[in-house]
């Protein structure tokens, strides 16, 4: 398994991680727990050492799943989890908005440690910015947790370049997690250059466009009632049909390389920077193996230029998020 370091922090992880969210979140019926534990442990056997979860996934049950699955591999894997949503710590009920008050961060950390069955959280992200709490206070709270030995590394998710800089002064940021894929590249404008300047690693979620870039989600596909894609403008049947040309580009390049569209999409991301680590999620073993196959795909400068040239002729249809979700990002 290829390894990568997240920026200048020295935190080394597998070049591809595993996003665990959909093992217990945004689905109508939960996948079989034992099957998911087996999938996670198989990922470890395949060389994956980087796993992503969050307290709000479930809430709580995703961390419990990941903790149980990875307990036999303590010290061999890196688990990232997140704080910042305003949920009841006992019931998991959504209390509305964000909550990154220092006392809440400490409370979440203690609960996550128990659910993950670890003594230290490897990477602790602020999930979304809290407009009521200055980022300096957030970074300070995590700094105290690091000094206490309860957290190893501090991360931010969907933060603006300005927020990253402000946080980094108080407590060095190890990784910035945001959406990044061939069809969502807004982070290239300010966020990636800021990460490069400050030596911060970048973790790409939804690197396969929430499944769209696999070529398996055309306009005829229907989603579970609980699936977030039902709310996203980019995933209406009309937008999926209009954007299919993106999949056709990936398919064409893939045919030349003996690779699937998903593998080309991941290989493209891996080729952007050596400190970018995609975390595609899946609940299926054959998809895990397909994703890991992207590590063997080598895109030449000519390949990358061909992709860039083709994408420059396209305007992707549909916003990434509706207004209420978009306002929580880029703070």
* Residues assigned a catalytic role: 57
222 class by beta-carbon count within 10 Å (0-12 exposed, 13-18 middle, 19+ buried): exposed
Separation between Cα atoms, residue 164 and residue 155, nearest integer Å? 9
Q: Quick one: which H or E segment has residue 203?
A: strand 201-205
Distances in whole angstroms, Cα of residue 243 to Cα of each of 22, 162, 176, 263, 283: 24, 32, 28, 19, 25
The angle, 0 to 180 degrees and rounded to 10, between the axes of the packed helices 244-257 and 261-270 is: 90
Torsion of CA 79, 205, 100, 10, to 10 degrees: 50
121 in Cβ contact with 112 (< 8 Å): yes
Residue recorded with tokens 């403008």: 233
Separation between Cα atoms, residue 72 and residue 62, nearest integer Å? 17
Within its chain, how far is the Cα of 43 from the centroid?
16
Asked if omega into 116 is within 30° of 0 (cis), the reply is no
Bridge partners, residue 157, by sequence: 177
**Total length of the chain:** 331
Q: For residue 139, what are its two tokens? A: 């970074």
């Amino acid at each position: 398994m290829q390894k990568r370091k997240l920026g200048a922090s020295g935190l080394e992880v597998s070049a591809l991680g595993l996003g665990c969210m959909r093992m217990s979140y945004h689905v109508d019926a939960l996948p079989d727990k034992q099957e998911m534990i087996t999938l996670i442990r198989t990922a470890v056997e395949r060389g994956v050492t980087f796993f992503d979860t969050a307290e709000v996934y479930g809430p709580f049950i995703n961390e419990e799943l990941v903790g149980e699955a990875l307990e036999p591999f303590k010290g061999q894997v890196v688990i990232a989890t997140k704080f910042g949503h305003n949920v009841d710590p006992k019931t998991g009920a959504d209390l509305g908005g964000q909550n990154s008050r220092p006392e809440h961060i400490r409370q979440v950390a203690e609960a996550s440690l128990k659910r993950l069955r670890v003594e230290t959280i490897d990477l602790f992200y602020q999930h979304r910015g809290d407009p009521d709490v200055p980022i300096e206070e957030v970074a300070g709270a995590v700094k105290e947790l690091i000094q206490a030995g309860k957290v190893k590394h501090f991360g931010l998710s969907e933060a603006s370049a300005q927020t990253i800089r402000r946080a980094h002064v108080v407590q060095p940021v190890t990784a910035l997690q945001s959406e990044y894929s061939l069809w969502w590249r807004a982070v290239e404008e300010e966020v990636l250059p800021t990460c490069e300047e400050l030596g911060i690693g970048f973790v790409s979620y939804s690197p396969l466009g929430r499944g769209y870039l696999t070529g398996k989600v055309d306009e005829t596909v229907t989603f579970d009632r609980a699936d977030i894609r039902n709310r996203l403008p980019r995933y209406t049947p009309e937008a999926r049909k209009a954007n299919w040309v993106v999949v056709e580009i990936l398919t064409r390049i893939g045919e030349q390389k003996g690779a699937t569209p998903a593998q080309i999409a991941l290989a493209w991301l891996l080729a952007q920077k050596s400190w970018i680590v995609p975390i595609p999620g899946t609940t299926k073993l054959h998809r895990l193996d397909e994703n890991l196959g992207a590590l063997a795909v080598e895109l030449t400068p000519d390949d990358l230029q061909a992709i860039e040239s083709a994408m420059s002729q396209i305007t992707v249809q549909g916003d990434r998020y509706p207004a209420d979700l978009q306002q929580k990002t880029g703070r």
